[in-house]
Amino acid sequence: MPGIANIRTLLRPDVAQLDDVSVWLQSAGLDAKVIRSNTFQVSTTIGEAESLLNATYHIYTNGERSTVWTTSYTLPEPLNKHIEFVTPITAFPFVRNFPFKSPEALKVSNLQQRVNCGSSDYTSPNCIRQVYNITYTAQPNRTTFAIYATEAASYRKADMDKFLRTYNPPAAAANPQIRVVGTGDPKDGSPGITGAFETHLDTQTAFGLAWPAQGVLYNLGGVFGPTPGQVYDPYVSFLQDLLTNETVPSVVSFSETTPNDMVDPAYARSVCNMMRDIGSRGVSLLFSSGDNGPQGDQPTGKHSIVFEPEFPASCPWVTSVDGTTNMAAETAATQQTISDLINKFSSTASGGGFSNLFPRPAYQDEAVSAYAKNSVPSTYSQYSGFKASGRGMPDISAFSTNFPVVYLGLTFGVGGTSASTPLCAAIVTLLNDYEASQGRPPLGFPNPWLYGLNKNGLHDITGGGFNNGSCNWLSECRLPATPGYPVTTGWDAVTGLGSPTFDQLRRALDMQAAASGLSYWIRLWLWLMSSSSSIRAAWIHSGDIERVDVLRTLQIHRHRHCSNDQKDMR
């Protein structure tokens, strides 16, 4: 995979472009400086920004918090080809209402480990290992995973310790530490305890399963768009750090998304391209796909279109994750299958669908085109937001209901794709650690490999009906209909390729490595049989180097479709 020096060289913009933008900003009397080689940070007032961008800013509020935004802006024509996006500008932070089950509703027996894990048991680390056939344990601190705290984070080690004592005693005995980067601030996220539950769910789910891998919580404040008083989008800054830092985690889990139509398309495309480059560094990015079927993440608030795919889950260069339920007989998490009242509040239905912004990547062509042609009702074309030729979501799925979360010393039941995403991130972490134990690189961007498995290592979810979302008229939702996608055999827009079976995924990695090695020795034999002695000697010497390069860049074999995808995405 490309080294950090090569990445920085590829990302470095043309000096003339930087000069053009700098002259434009200076002519407006603005103080600007270049950060991370390709970004201008500008200190300005609202009035100056309105004049510079020919825009009008307003204060928007959802009743709990306010933010300053504009609905449109313009750039000088000569600079349009140089500037990919401007922030803060036209994308609203998306705040999730995060329901939970009160501690009084819990039974003490449910908090203990079970020999058998059924439909009414908590989705604990022990049960996840049992159902998904995870027999592997990482080596201490060899592999790093990260959680991006997208809401007002409030991490408490005491709560993590209690969670581990109950659900992973060996980890509790080791007194592990999650490294926290940044301080965050409640004003940068949703108020109240919502952000605290989100953070505790993410960290406890991932760390409880991936330990003793090293965990990092990035508590940088904000959601996807900045809030008043911030001069730069913390999410974009974080992505730029993943591109330029010497050391990066092998996996990052994000449990929040925002509707495509709430995001400036230029911003979305630029961010998506950044995530493509991050994947080339060997970092896997996993995003939740939402909890209200194809109608976005929540049934509340205004919805401008019927089919409302989520971003960044809709970016073709990330792994999109949806939810399932029932550990006794895994099915898609839909209105038909989520029986518990509290889980119904947490998740209406597993998200998914088709992006109306990003085209379908080549690695999805075979699986997704067949589903779009044979399983999606033809009447859906009449609804706003429908685009069956777009990037299909999700890629994979995992359990998303009945997760125990310890907060302020009490245990609560929580659900949603905010649970299934860190669960899958933990599984990818374990796979990466196994690869490291074999002297092989991390998975990086895993989608082409996952779609090429031909169901090996992934359990096809075929039950659950349709993932119709909901529309709460009492909270200003006025959609004419809430159609859902069907769960079918093979890839579907509710559960993707299915849920992971760890031991089979590990065998698939071994088989791929063996095939790559066999290919090398076959090529070597052919060269030895057909070349002169001097050429053979020279080639054997260079072949030793090539062999090392093959081991170090096995990622290229996994991403065999990437070059075509990049061409398709331009």
Q: Which residue ranges make up the annotated binding site for Ca(2+)?
A: 460-461, 490, 492
Q: Residue 555's beta-bridge partner residues?
A: none
The DSSP bridge pattern shows strands 258-259 and 310-311 to be antiparallel
Pick the closest to residue 241 from 311, 146, 314 (CA basis): 146
* Cis preceding-peptide flag for 448 (omega within 30 of 0): no
In 375-446, which ranges are continuous DSSP H helix? 417-437
Contact indicator for 197, 405 with CB cutoff of 8 Å: yes
Place of tokens 């020919």: 54
Residues carrying an active site annotation: 198, 202, 418
* Cis preceding-peptide flag for 99 (omega within 30 of 0): no
Contact indicator for 414, 405 with CB cutoff of 8 Å: yes
Binding residues: 460-461, 490, 492
**What does the alpha-carbon distance between residue 417 and residue 323 come to, in Å, rounded to a whole number?**
5
- Both structure tokens of 290: 């939402």
* Cis preceding-peptide flag for 312 (omega within 30 of 0): yes
458: helix, coil or strand? strand
Q: Please name the residues in contact with 475: beta carbons below 8 A apart, sequence gap of 6 or more.
A: 299, 300, 301
Q: What sign for the dihedral angle of Cα 325, 327, 330, 336?
A: negative
**Half-sphere exposure (Cβ direction) of 362: Cα atoms closer than 13 Å:** 12
